[in-house]
Amino acid sequence: MSKIVAVTACPTGIAHTHMAAEALSATAAQKGHEIRVERQSSQGVEHALAPAEIAAADVVMIAADIHVDEARFAAKPVYRTTPGRAITRTAAELDAALALQGEETSQMVAQTGGPTGGLKVVAITSCPTGIAHTFMAADALKKAAAARGWEIAVETQGSVGSQNTLSDAQVAGADLVVIAADTHVDDARFAGKKVYKTSVGAAVKGAATVLDTAVAEGEVLGQSLAETVDALKAKRAAGRTGPYQHLLTGVSFMLPLVVAGGLLIALSFVFGIKAFEQEGTLAAALMAIGGGAAFKLMVPVLAGYIAYSIADRPGLTPGLIGGMLAVNLNAGFLGGIVAGFLAGYVARWLRDAIKLPRVLEGLKPVLILPLLSTLVTGLVMVYIVGEPVAAILAAMTSFLQGLGTTNAVVLGLILGGMMAVDMGGPINKAAYTFAVGLLTTDTYAPMAAVMAAGMTPPLGLALATFVAKNRFTPEEREAGGAAAVLGLSFITEGAIPFAAKDPARVIPSIIVGSAVAGALSMGLGCQLMAPHGGIFVLAIPNAVTHLAAYAGAVVAGTLVTTALLVALKKPVSAGAMASVANA
């Protein structure tokens, strides 16, 4: 029987710190060893190790993603790992730690766990042109890792797109992430991993130094409540493939333009609904920026990044140009969607079909692909797609603007329910994209219904954690405050953590509440000029028509959600509450 002392610590200290401690304690007991675990969390140190316990220990385990002071363990063999490995590979990590008994701590023990020969690394390399340094950096990192006996997988983001794309399994199993890039690289998929970022030139010139520095100075991407929501969204997005994934990519890049443009248009209404018609005024300037620039860029950006998602960089140029043609042909956001898919698939086919000698490969991304893909996309948009799609958009706009009260309520029910079904997923985004697209045709009622319905799920949950505390765990009650802020900001995803724990009761409750909010908004004739902003938009004069009725719709939906949650959810058992409190 061995005596072990351990320290667990993660950036937030809410979940992984305690989960790792419990896993180590239970597994060590099963193996017949004594263990004492100190937990370092955002609330301080719990179950602190006494000097006598450290002195009597045979080995020290440190399962941490943050710095832990090791001065008090100077005379002991120390095994370092991460909380994630301690949770998922508990027995193996304990065995590796016990193997150090009688040995001095050495540099052969990696800070990320186990012998350095066992490190698994994933990397991304990217330079602005993506022709030479991207691949030189990848080769250098592979050679440096192989010299250490490490496993490494490198994704290159070059001018013709990503190659050797990292799989979910490779990312999940990685101990270390290295991003060597001179361009923006999305790091959302590496949440919870130890990440080190440097330039592509540093990797080319000194890959060995980069790897050593990554082990010593890499930082874990932390996960607060908001970051947990982002991680869940990223995980869901990673599972989406095909046309829907491409559409959402375009929408995600389009949204900042829509939000900025919509808010600027709303601000121009502060001076009066028709004030922008007077040349030289501030209202006219705000309208020129929001409506004349931002909204005109909306459709080209949507089309461009749909194509980018399909064909990577070769799709961007024909997509942007196809989107601008959709605007000029009055085909609107529907034409932009068509242009994006057309440009993306044409560019991808040309990229894969055209083979050139290596010495001429540099001409492909900067000359051949942009020219041919733009030519094909443009001709199809002008001669085939433009006029029919413009006619469809005009007919749909006319129908929506002529809706009677009964039909408007039905549409509000449908859009409202869609906003809550998957809280930021495919159905939610379909409703939101529909409403946003209609803003370009001066149809504002669906936008009001969508935002009201999108606010109520997290608001209803937040209120329920306050009025029915016995139906939620302490962790959920603490998260209720953050959910309220997310709801007020029109971030429906704030409801995801609650729905993930109790989908059978939470999801029906929020769907009904959102449907009520959407139906009331449409039925009362509310209109919203801004596409985002939540409660903060309500302070802008004239941004919302029938402001009091609109606020009432949000409140009504929130109360309905809360009432259903109170009725459907059962009180949390005393045993579960005690378990959480002791965790």
Catalytic site residue from 24, 97, 127, 544:
127
Residues counted in the chain: 583
Q: Of 464, 433, 125, which Cα lies nearest the Cα of 252?
A: 433
Q: Say which residues have a Cβ less than 8 Å from residue 501's Cβ, sequence separation at least 6.
A: 476
Copy the structure tokens of residue 213.
């520095």
| Longest CA span, the chain | 86
Q: Which residue has the tokens 């028709």?
A: 274
Q: Say which residues have a Cβ less than 8 Å from residue 296's Cβ, sequence separation at least 6.
A: 327
**Helix/strand/coil (H, E, C) string of 380-424?**
HHHHHHHHHHHHHHHHHHHHHHCCCHHHHHHHHHHHHHHHHHCCC
Provide the terminal-to-terminal Cα distance of the chain, rounded to the nearest Å.
26
Q: Cβ(496)–Cβ(232) under 8 Å?
A: yes
Q: Which residue has the tokens 């079904």?
A: 421
Q: Between vectors from CA 323 to CA 302 and to CA 527, what angle results, nearest 5°?
A: 60
127 catalytic residue (yes or no):
yes
Element containing residue 4 per DSSP (H, E): strand 3-9
Residue 63 pairs in a beta bridge with 8, 81
Q: Of 308, 289, 292, which Cα lies nearest the Cα of 251?
A: 308
**Helix/strand/coil (H, E, C) string of 154-189?**
EEEEECCEEECCCCHHHHHCCCEEEEEECCCCCCHH
Burial class of 531 by CB neighbour count within 10 A (0 to 12, 13 to 18, 19+): buried
**Helix/strand/coil (H, E, C) string of 88-140?**
HCHHHHHHHHHCCCCCCCCCCECCCCCEHHHCEEEEEEECCCCCCHHHHHHHH
CA separation for the pair 377, 339 (Å, rounded): 7
Report phi then psi at 540, rounded to 5: -85, 120
Burial class of 418 by CB neighbour count within 10 A (0 to 12, 13 to 18, 19+): buried
Amino acid of residue 156: T
Q: Say which residues have a Cβ less than 8 Å from residue 532's Cβ, sequence separation at least 6.
A: 255, 258, 259, 262, 263, 451, 490
Q: Cβ(461)–Cβ(506) under 8 Å?
A: yes
Report phi then psi at 90, rounded to 5: -60, -50
**Residue 490 CA to its chain's centroid (Å):** 16
CA separation for the pair 258, 531 (Å, rounded): 7
Q: Of 403, 549, 571, which Cα lies nearest the Cα of 502?
A: 571
Catalytic residues: 127
